C-alpha cells in the first residue's frame, strides 16, 4: 500500500477491552468532518465488533472496495499474552541453553519479598530443542552446525508437531547464517508452522531478552495471523494497516509476522494523538492518562514521543521498541471489594465488556468504578455510552449495596471511597512516570482521554499539584483518532558494543547509514516509495560496565556524550567519569504523518448561554452540559458535568473549563493553595 494521506477518507479503529472506538475522517468540499462511533467489544472475536461498527457507520462498501483505508489498533496479541493463550511453540537453541527462558535473569520481582509466586514457565521442557551452530562473542564459530544435527532437528519437529517455532542461537545478531539454515530446514518438514528467528525479530545482544522476544513473536504469531485473516476477509479488498507498539503503522501482512511489535498497539495510538495535539496547541510538556474500561495507561511527553526497549508483558521482558508508558489495572470496569483485612480495594480484576459493570444490565453483579460514578450522579442516569446503549442506575445501586453493608458505610460514602481508591492508584502511577524520574508535574499539563478519563481528571490534577488540564476533542476515542495521524514506518536496531572514544564519527555515520539503507529496502518491499521516507538515527549508550542503557539522538560524538551525562544525572541523580559505551544503533524510518485539517470553531457571541439540566450528585445539584452545545470561549465554573457521546467530564469545585478554538476543553484551577513542599503531593486547602 502506498501513502494514503491524499485519500478522501480514513477510518481509525481502536479495539479495547470494553468498547471498540471508531473515528471516521472525511474530506468534503464544504469542510472536513469527523464522525465518532462506539460499539461494545466482542473479546472472543474482536473482528465482529469492528465489522459491526463499519456497517453502522454506513461505510461498509467504501471499506470493502479499498476506497476507505482502515488503520487499526488491536489488543489481540496483548490479551493472548496476558491470558496465556499462546500457540504450542518449540524453542530451538544451542547445546546447554534449553532452560534459558525458564531461568531468565533470576531477579526478584520485589526486593524485600521473601516468598513470591512461581513464575509461569514460558516453554515446556519437551518443546526445547538443542543443536549446534554456536558463535563466540566476537562472531567466531565455536560449534559448527552439521548436516546430522539438522536432520535430527527435523526429526524432533516431525514428532512434536509444534504450531510455531522460535530459533534463538547465541550471538546470532553478529552472524545469522546458522539461524537461517535452521529456518529453512524447519520449513521443509513443517511448512504450516509459524517460524521466526531472533536475528530477524531483535538483532541485539542479551540472549534472554532476544530469546523472549522471539518466543513471544512465535507463540503469538498464529493467533494474530488468524485474527487478521478473519478481519481482512470481512473487509474484502479493503486497505488495512496496523498500529505498532512504537507508534508507527505497518501493513496487515507484515503485522501478521511481527506479533511482538503489537503488544501496546492501542495505547501507542493514544500517545501519537497526544503528540499531534501538543503540536496543534504548541504545548510540548504533557502528562497523559488514558482510562478505559479495563486499565489506565499513563505517560509523560516532554517534546518528542519516547520509546523504550525495557517494557514487560505478563511478567516477561519485551525488548522491542514500544512507547514509554506505565499501565495499571484501574479502569471504569475495575471491581471494588473488601480484602481479608476489611480494606477497600479496587482492581486489578475487571468486569470487562461481558458482563461489564453492573449498570450495563448484562448480568454483572459486582460493583465497579463506573457503577460508583453513576450512583454519585457524575455520569447522568440517561447517558448513552454506545449508540442506544444506556446505563441502569438501579442495577448499580443493587451491586453497591452489599459492599456498603460489609464496609459499614452508607452507599454514597462507599461510592466516594471507591473513587478515592481508584484515584490514588492512578496518582501513584502518574508519580512513577514523573516525580520518580525527576520531573515536576506542576510544569506539565495533565491530559486525559479514554471513556472514563474526564471523570477523574480534576481529582488527579489536584493530587499531583497541577493547575492545568486538557480534555481533548473526542477524548473518549482519542486512541482511534491517533490511528489517523500515526506515521507509516518501522524501527530497526543492531548491537555493536564499542567504546565511544575508540570509534570515529565517520564510522558511526557509516554504520547508521547501512542500518537505514537496509531498513529503507525493507519498507520499499512493502510498497512505500524511497523518496517519501524520512529517517531518525539514535544510539543506546551506557557507562562501561553498566547493563542498562539510555537512548539519545545521534548528534556527533561530542554532543551526544555530553547529553548522555546530562540525561544520566537527570534520570538517576549522578554522572560518572567512566568511559561511555555504544551498545545499540537504532533507526526510525517513516512516512510523514497524515495532516488532518480540522475546522476551527467560532467564538461565542454570548458567554455562559448554554442548555443544561440539573442532576443530584450526592446531596448537591449539578448542571449537566452537552459539550456539543458549547462554543469557543464559553466559560463553565465547577462543579458541573459535561457530557458527550464518547465520554463524560466531571468538573470539580475550584476548577473552570472553556473550549479552545480546536474544540478541546481547557481546565484551569481557580486558586493556588497547594502545599508543594513535596512535588506531586496532595493539595491543601
User: What integer pLDDT is reported at residue 678 of this predicted model?
Assistant: 37
Predicted confidence band of residue 672 (pLDDT cuts 50, 70, 90): low
| Residue 322 in grid coordinates | 514500544
Helices (H) and strands (E) in the chain, counts: 17, 36
What residue ranges of the chain are covered by domains with CATH 3.40.50?
Answer: 82-225
For residue 665, give the nearest of 683, 679, 650 by alpha carbon.
Answer: 650
Is 466 buried (19+), middle (13-18) or exposed (0-12) by CB count in 10 A? buried
User: What integer pLDDT is reported at residue 675 of this predicted model?
Assistant: 45
What is the average pLDDT score of the chain? Answer: 87
What residue ranges of the chain are covered by domains with CATH 3.30.420?
Answer: 9-79+228-262
The CATH code belonging to domain 9-79+228-262 is 3.30.420
Predicted confidence band of residue 385 (pLDDT cuts 50, 70, 90): low
Q: Which CATH architecture has domain 82-225?
A: 3-Layer(aba) Sandwich (3.40)
Please name the residues in contact with 663: beta carbons below 8 A apart, sequence gap of 6 or more.
473, 598, 601
In Å, how far are 258, 374, 447 from 14, measured between CA atoms? 19, 25, 19
Predicted confidence band of residue 386 (pLDDT cuts 50, 70, 90): low
User: What integer pLDDT is reported at residue 135 of this predicted model?
Assistant: 96
Q: Is pLDDT of 373 > 60?
A: yes
pLDDT digits (tens, 9 = 90+) for 530-572: 999 999 999 999 999 998 899 999 999 999 999 999 999 988 8
| Residue 91 in grid coordinates | 524453542
pLDDT digits (tens, 9 = 90+) for 485-496: 999 999 999 999
The secondary structure of 313-348, three-state, reads ECCEEECCCEECCEEECCCCCEEEEECCCCCEEEEE
**Quick count: other Cβ atoms within 10 Å of Cβ 67?**
15
Indicate the pTM of the whole model.
0.83
pLDDT digits (tens, 9 = 90+) for 98-130: 999 998 887 777 777 777 777 778 899 999 999
Amino acid at each position: 500500500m502506498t501513502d494514503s494521506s491524499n485519500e478522501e477518507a480514513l477510518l481509525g479503529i481502536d479495539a479495547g477491552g470494553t468498547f471498540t472506538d471508531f473515528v471516521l475522517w472525511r474530506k468534503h468540499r464544504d469542510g472536513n468532518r469527523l464522525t465518532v462511533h462506539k460499539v461494545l467489544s466482542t473479546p472472543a472475536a474482536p473482528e465482529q465488533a469492528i465489522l459491526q461498527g463499519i456497517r453502522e457507520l454506513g461505510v461498509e462498501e467504501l471499506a470493502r472496495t479499498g476506497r476507505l483505508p482502515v488503520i487499526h489498533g488491536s489488543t489481540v496479541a496483548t490479551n493472548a499474552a496476558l491470558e496465556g493463550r499462546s500457540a504450542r511453540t518449540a524453542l530451538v537453541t544451542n547445546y546447554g541453553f534449553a532452560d534459558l527462558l525458564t531461568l531468565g535473569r533470576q531477579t526478584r520481582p520485589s526486593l524485600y519479598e521473601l516468598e513470591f509466586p512461581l513464575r509461569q514457565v514460558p516453554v515446556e521442557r519437551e518443546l526445547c530443542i538443542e543443536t549446534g551452530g554456536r558463535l563466540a562473542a566476537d562472531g567466531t564459530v565455536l560449534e559448527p552446525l552439521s548436516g546430522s544435527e539438522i536432520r535430527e532437528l527435523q526429526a524432533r519437529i516431525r514428532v512434536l508437531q509444534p504450531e510455531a517455532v522460535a530459533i534463538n542461537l547465541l550471538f546470532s545478531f553478529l552472524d545469522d547464517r546458522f539461524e537461517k539454515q535452521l529456518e529453512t530446514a524447519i520449513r521443509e518438514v513443517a511448512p504450516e508452522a509459524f517460524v521466526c528467528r531472533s536475528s530477524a525479530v531483535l538483532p541485539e545482544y542479551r540472549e534472554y531478552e532476544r530469546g523472549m522476544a522471539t518466543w513471544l513473536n512465535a507463540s503469538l504469531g498464529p493467533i494474530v495471523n488468524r485474527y487478521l485473516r478473519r478481519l481482512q476477509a470481512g473487509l474484502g479488498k479493503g486497505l488495512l494497516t496496523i498500529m505498532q507498539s512504537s507508534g508507527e503503522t505497518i501493513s496487515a501482512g507484515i503485522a501478521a509476522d511481527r506479533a511482538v511489535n503489537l503488544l501496546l498497539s492501542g495505547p501507542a495510538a493514544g500517545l501519537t494523538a497526544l503528540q499531534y495535539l501538543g503540536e496543534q496547541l504548541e504545548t510540548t510538556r504533557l502528562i497523559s492518562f488514558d482510562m478505559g474500561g479495563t486499565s489506565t495507561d499513563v505517560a509523560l511527553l516532554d517534546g518528542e514521543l519516547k520509546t523504550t526497549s525495557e517494557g514487560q508483558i505478563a511478567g516477561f521482558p519485551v525488548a522491542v521498541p514500544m512507547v514509554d508508558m506505565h499501565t495499571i489495572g484501574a479502569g471504569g470496569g475495575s471491581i471494588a471489594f473488601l480484602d481479608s483485612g476489611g480494606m477497600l480495594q479496587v482492581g486489578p480484576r475487571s468486569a470487562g465488556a461481558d458482563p461489564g459493570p453492573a449498570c450495563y444490565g448484562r448480568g454483572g453483579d459486582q460493583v465497579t468504578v463506573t457503577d460508583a460514578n453513576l450512583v454519585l450522579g457524575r455520569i447522568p442516569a440517561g447517558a448513552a455510552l454506545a449508540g442506544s446503549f444506556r446505563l441502569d442506575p438501579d442495577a448499580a445501586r443493587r451491586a453497591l449495596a452489599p459492599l456498603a453493608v460489609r464496609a459499614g458505610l452508607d452507599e454514597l460514602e462507599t461510592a466516594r471511597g471507591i473513587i478515592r481508591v481508584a484515584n490514588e492508584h492512578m496518582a501513584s502511577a502518574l508519580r512513577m512516570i514523573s516525580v520518580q524520574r525527576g520531573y515536576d508535574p506542576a510544569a506539565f499539563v495533565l491530559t486525559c482521554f479514554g471513556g472514563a478519563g474526564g471523570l477523574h481528571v480534576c481529582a488527579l490534577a489536584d493530587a499531583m499539584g497541577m493547575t492545568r488540564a486538557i480534555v481533548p476533542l473526542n477524548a473518549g476515542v482519542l486512541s482511534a483518532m491517533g490511528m489517523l495521524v500515526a506515521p507509516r514506518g518501522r524501527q530497526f536496531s543492531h548491537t555493536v558494543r564499542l567504546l565511544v572514544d575508540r570509534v570515529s564519527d565517520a564510522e558511526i555515520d557509516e554504520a547508521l547509514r547501512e542500518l537505514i539503507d537496509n531498513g529503507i529496502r525493507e519498507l520499499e518491499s512493502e510498497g512505500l516509495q524511497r523518496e517519501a521516507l524520512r529517517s531518525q538515527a539514535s544510539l543506546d549508550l551506557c557507562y562501561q560496565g553498566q547493563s542498562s542503557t539510555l537512548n539519545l539522538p545521534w548528534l556527533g560524538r561530542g554532543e551526544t556524550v555530553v547529553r548522555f551525562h546530562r540525561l544520566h544525572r537527570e534520570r538517576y541523580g549522578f554522572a560518572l567519569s567512566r568511559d561511555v559505551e555504544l551498545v545499540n544503533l537504532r533507526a526510525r524510518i517513516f512516512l510523514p504523518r497524515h495532516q488532518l485539517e480540522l475546522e476551527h470553531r467560532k467564538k461565542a457571541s454570548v458567554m455562559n448561554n448554554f442548555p443544561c439540566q440539573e442532576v443530584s450528585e450526592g446531596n448537591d445539584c449539578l448542571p449537566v452540559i452537552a459539550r456539543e452545545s458549547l462554543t469557543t470561549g464559553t466559560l463553565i465554573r465547577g462543579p458541573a458535568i459535561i457530557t458527550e457521546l464518547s465520554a463524560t467530564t466531571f468538573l470539580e469545585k475550584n476548577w473552570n473549563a472553556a473550549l479552545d478554538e480546536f474544540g478541546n476543553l481547557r481546565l484551569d484551577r481557580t486558586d493556588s493553595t497547594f502545599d508543594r513542599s513535596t512535588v506531586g503531593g496532595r493539595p491543601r486547602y
